[in-house]
Amino acid sequence: MTFENEKGIHTDFKDRMTYGDYLDLDSILNSQNRLSDHHDEMLFIIIHQVSELWMKLTLHELQAAINAIQEESYQPAFKMLARVSSIQNQIIKAWDVLSTMTPSEYLGFRDQLGNASGFQSYQYRMVEFALGYKTPHVIKIYEKEPELQKQLIEAYEAPGLYDVAIQALAKEGFEIDEDVLNRDLTKTYEVNESVEQAWIEVYKDTERYWNLYQLAEKLVDIEDWMQQWRFRHMKTVERIIGHKKGTGGSSGVGYLKQVLDHYFFPELWNVRSRL
C-alpha cells in the first residue's frame, strides 16, 4: 500500500498543529551548535543532549515516585521506578555510541570546550540528590544563574528516594533510630543498623511486607543500573582520554573510579550477606 492510497492522511496543516510543532523540533534540532568544524563534535553534542533529556525524564519520574511513596501509593511508585530503570538502560547505551570516537578525533575539538564538562551537569547532580548522595559543589557552579541555583538548593535540601523508603519502614512499625528519621537531609546518607535490621525482616517475611519488599528490589534495580552507568562512563573516558584531567578540572578517570565505590542504598546490599 502506498501513501497515495491512504486517503485519510492529513496533509493540510496551515491552521493545524504538526508533529514538529508539538515537539518543538525546530528548537531541538537547531540546538547543536558546534564550536569547531570537526565532524565528530556533532556526535559529542548530541550524545550529551540526549542524555540530559533522559535525565529530565528520570527526575520527573523520581520526584513523582517519592511523592507516591510518601502517600503510601506503592503501585504507581513501582511503575515509575521501573521506568527509571528502563531509562537508565538507554543512557548506558549512549556510551557505546560515544566510544566509537577515537582519542585523535576528540582532540580535534576538545580545546573548544574550555572548562565545560559533564562534571557540571546540574541534572545529574539532582539525580544524585534524589538518590541521597548530597555534594554541594555544583550549587556554587550555578551562582551566575539564581533561578537554577534555587532549584538545586531545593533538591539538595529535599528528602530523597531512600529517605521516604526509610520513612515507609517506620510507618509499617519498624523501630528506626530517631537520628535517622530526623537526619540532616543535606548530608549524604550513611549506613544504619536499625534500617538494616528492618530490611532484613522485610526480606525474611516477603508476604507480610510485600510492598516494602517490592520497593527494596526497585531500589536495588536503580542502584545496579546507576553503577553500570558509572562504570561505562569511566571506561569510555579512559578509552578516549586515558588518565588526563577532565576539562572541568577533575582527575578524570581517577575521580570516576572513586565514585564506583559509593552505595546509595547500602543496607539493601548488606542484607544479601546477612540473610
For residue 48, say whether it is annotated as part of any ligand binding site: yes
Question: What are the angstrom distances between the C-alpha of 5 and each of 8, 10, 18, 140?
Answer: 9, 13, 21, 59
DSSP 26-87: HHHHT----SS--TTHHHHHHHHHHHHHHHHHHHHHHHHHHHHHHTT-HHHHHHHHHHHHHH
For residue 236, say whether it is annotated as part of any ligand binding site: no
For residue 47, say whether it is annotated as part of any ligand binding site: yes
For residue 213, say whether it is annotated as part of any ligand binding site: no
Angle between helices 41-70 and 122-130 (to 10 degrees): 30
For residue 233, say whether it is annotated as part of any ligand binding site: yes
DSSP 143-182: TT-HHHHHHHHHHHHS--HHHHHHHHHHHTT----HHHHT
Query: Residue ranges for the binding site for substrate?
Result: 44-48, 106, 110, 247
Query: Residue ranges for the binding site?
Result: 44-48, 106, 110, 233, 247
Query: Residue ranges for the binding site for heme?
Result: 233
